[in-house]
Structure 1
Amino acid sequence: MQLIQIDKARYRKHLNRVIAGCAAGLALGSLAISQTLIALFPDESGSHFHWNLTGVVITSLAIAWLLNKYRRHPFMTEVVYVWELKQALNKITRKMPKLKAAGREGNADALLAIHYSYAGSRLLWQLDDNTITMDDLAIKQTELDSVAAKYNVTLNADEYDANILKQF
């Protein structure tokens, strides 16, 4: 997955609309479904937990289906890109201890994966205005650059391929 610069204002605007739409859809849909089920199948004991739960589950599945159906819509471009980038970075993070160990020994693929992780994290943190941890990231990037220089490895995030994680 290539790292691309995206329009922060457009991303935030679309993300907020998607979140608000999902929240409103979940509230209204689950309420409508559960109230319909309660009206059709009343319970003498007054407990309608199972109908409420059914309404939430059905509405959640419907929202997930809609999000998946419209994931290629131009409105969703930035939101889906960030979601997929977070998944890619999470895969790297789960293997980070092994990557760091291999990187200290000069493994170019490990160093590239770590570099990609740092570059992707920097992009995400800038989009979310999470600049507090940028200093720590800069320190880690400097350490990575020194290890890469020690082993004469050139790091370019554009060369990263998720398949290199299979060896770790």
Structure 2
Amino acid sequence: MQLEEINKARYRKCLNRVIVACIIVLVVGSLSISQLLIMLFPNESGSHFFWNLLGVVLTCICIGWVLNKYRTHQAMTEVVYVWELKQTLNRINRKMPKLKAAANEGNIDALQTIHFCYAGSRQLWQLDDNTITMDELAIQQAELDSLAKQFNVELNSKDFKEEVLAQF
């Protein structure tokens, strides 16, 4: 995965549309399916919990299927990119203790991966207007830059390859 420039306004607009559409479909779909099931299979005790749950589950499956089907649509480009970036950053963060240990020993792949993680996190936080922890990120980036200088490594987020995570 490579970092890409994202139009923040377009991203927020598309994300908000996707969220609102999912909420509306979830409410209408789950209520419709559960009411249909209750009508077809009434329960004398009056408990329709499982029919309601089945309506929600079936609607969630449908929403997931539609989102997956239209993930390549032009309107979903930014939303899918951010979603995939978050998944990649989560994989990196799960391995961060091992990555930091390897970086302290001068492992170039670990240094590049951590740099990508910091750059990706910075981009996500700016897109979501979550700048509270930017100062902490700047400190961590300075420490990483110091390590890179110590081991004579030039950091570039474009040099990140997701396959290297397997070695950590």
Query: Which amino acid is 1:87 matched to?
Result: Q
1:129 counterpart residue number: 129
Name the Cα RMSD after superposition: 0.5
**Deviation at 1:41?**
1.0
* Residues 100-111 of structure 1: pairs in structure 2 closer than 5 A: 100-111=100-111
- Identity, in percent, stands at 68
2:82 counterpart residue number: 82
Query: Which amino acid is 1:111 matched to?
Result: L
Once the two structures are superposed, residues 38-77 of structure 1 have per-residue CA deviations (whole angstroms, 9 ceiling, x without a partner) of 1111111100111101100110100000000000000100
SS in 2 for 1:118: helix
Matched, 1:60 2:65: no
Unaligned runs of 5+ in 2: none
Matched, 1:44 2:44: yes
Matched, 1:26 2:26: yes
2:150 counterpart residue number: 150
Aligned-partner Cα distance in 1 for 2:116–2:161: 9
2:11 counterpart residue number: 11
Aligned length: 168
Aligned-partner Cα distance in 2 for 1:120–1:159: 13
**Deviation at 1:27?**
0.5
1:117 counterpart residue number: 117
Moved over 6 A (4+): none
Unaligned runs of 5+ in 1: none
Aligned-partner Cα distance in 2 for 1:138–1:50: 50
Aligned-partner Cα distance in 2 for 1:140–1:5: 23
Query: Which amino acid is 1:69 matched to?
Result: K
Aligned-partner Cα distance in 2 for 1:29–1:163: 40
